[in-house]
Amino acid sequence: MASATRADSRSAGTGRITFYVALAVFAQESTWNFYDNRVPELLRDHVASAAVIGLLMGMDNLLGIFIQPYMGNRSDNTRTAWGRRIPYLAVMMPVGAALFLLIPHATSLAWLILVLFLYALVMNSFRPVSESLMPDFIEPARRSRANAVVKIASALTTIVAALVSLLLVDDHPKLAFAVPAGLMLVAAAVLVWRVRDSRSPAYQAALAEDEAAAASGSRGPDVKVRIRTIVGDLVLDPDRSRLLLIVAVFVFAGAWFASRSLMTPYGVQVLGLSDGDAGGLTLPSGIAFILAALPAALFAERFGRLRVMAAGMTVFGAGALLGAVVPTPAVTVVALCLAAAGAAGFVINAVVVLWNLAPSSRVLGTYTGLYTVGWAGGGFAGPAVVGLAVDITGWRLMLLHITVLTVVAVLLVVRIDRLRRASASTEGVR
């Protein structure tokens, strides 16, 4: 009876913190999705060049590559009565909301770029902090299903952004920015009120490590774990699993973002659709991703995360290959749905594997940031690489190029799985 009570208590605690993290991510992504919807039009009031607009819209991804590992590491090294994450969220989420509200009020290009830069800087600063709350509280075995809930919340923000655009933008374009900003303020208030990550298992483990290190004399209690030390350990580790995982994230992110960002011109050039119809090709696949998210987590807990990641990417590649072989609008929609469902197997589990491979609870935030380096870096480079291949071979083969990238990512994950199995076998012999 006592064990059942403890299990129920753990389950309730897991559900509670999953809800709070999902709320934080939902609020953040609501502003980002609305940002992606509206800011290009605001920039068009000042800039005629599509290339310049694209460059400014990509600024946030570039900032994220540098800022997120730093801020994840900074929060890892923070020690307060409220824990190591909440103090940053208590300050940065309201500041981010305020900057978001200022965006439509910028009257010149210079002011608009400055506000966009500050908004991207602040939002990228606390993203790894909020996402790291999950591994702080939730035990490794249950992280996939919790991450599935968070990813579903993130995916639903596209609907929120669309509804806000539909209901408010035409008549109240400035007021429309207040809705996502208000969501973020509410999320910040709930997190500060209800979450004390000083009580999280990972924070308590980090404190215990600090005390043990100080007692042994290997370092003082206030010595911080630097990013260069963490990255050096990751790169020089003979196992290579963590490094190969980040590379796999980079490669698959390139395939995923290429399949999303280049689909509209593909639909126009290859399928003969109008711009509007081509832009709607990916909409059903977003629903497919949401439906596949939780099963991807449950399968991972049953069969192993690396296996589900490899299987999911294989399904993604099969979907892309199907679209390449039968280039019709109907088949392309089916292929994209199949690909998105497969992608869920990777997206839900990859960061969880990286968290679980972290050598210490002290560095979970840094590892969240390192995952972002791979994901955002792939999102930056993938469409460019596939676009270059399209320039050489033509739009007809775009999905085939994406398939090739996916095969590379699958091989990397299979290699990681073999390394982990070999490591487990060696430990068993010892």
DSSP state of 168: I
Assess contact for 268 and 275: CB atoms under 8 A: yes
Report how far apart the first and last C-alpha atoms of the chain are (Å, whole number).
37
**pTM (predicted TM-score):** 0.86
Other CB atoms closer than 10 Å to residue 86's CB: what's the count? 24
In terms of phi and psi (left: phi > 0; alpha: psi -120 to 50; beta: otherwise), the region of 303 is alpha
Long-range contacts of 155-160 (CB under 8 A, 24+ apart): 155/286, 155/289, 155/290, 155/293, 156/26, 156/290, 157/26, 157/29, 157/30, 157/32, 157/33, 158/33, 158/286, 160/30, 160/33, 160/34
Residue with tokens 């774990």: 225
3-state secondary structure of 328: coil
Which domains does the chain possess? 2-216 (1.20.1250.20), 227-429 (1.20.1250.20)
Assess contact for 155 and 289: CB atoms under 8 A: yes
| pLDDT reported for residue 5 | 41
3-state secondary structure of 154: helix
CA distance 308 to 316: 12
Assess contact for 372 and 290: CB atoms under 8 A: no
| pLDDT reported for residue 166 | 67
| pLDDT reported for residue 430 | 35
Structure tokens given for 195: 């979450």
Tell me the H-state helices in 270-328.
Answer: 275-279, 283-303, 305-325
Buried b or exposed e, range 113-130, using 16+ CB within 10 angstroms: bebbebbbbbbbbbbbbb
Length of the chain: 430
CA distance 36 to 123: 14
In terms of phi and psi (left: phi > 0; alpha: psi -120 to 50; beta: otherwise), the region of 219 is beta
Assess contact for 349 and 223: CB atoms under 8 A: no
Tell me the H-state helices in 45-85.
Answer: 50-57, 59-76
Structure tokens given for 256: 């995923």
Q: What is the pLDDT along the chain (430 residues), one digit of tens a residue?
A: 444 444 444 555 677 888 888 888 888 888 887 787 777 778 878 877 655 776 777 777 788 888 999 999 998 888 888 888 999 999 999 999 999 999 888 888 889 899 999 999 999 998 888 988 888 898 888 889 898 998 888 888 777 766 776 677 666 778 888 888 898 899 999 988 888 888 888 888 888 887 877 776 655 555 677 888 888 888 888 888 999 999 999 999 999 988 887 887 888 888 888 866 777 787 788 889 999 999 999 999 999 999 999 999 999 999 999 999 999 999 999 999 999 999 999 999 999 999 999 888 889 999 999 999 999 888 888 888 888 888 888 889 999 999 999 999 999 999 999 988 877 655 543 3
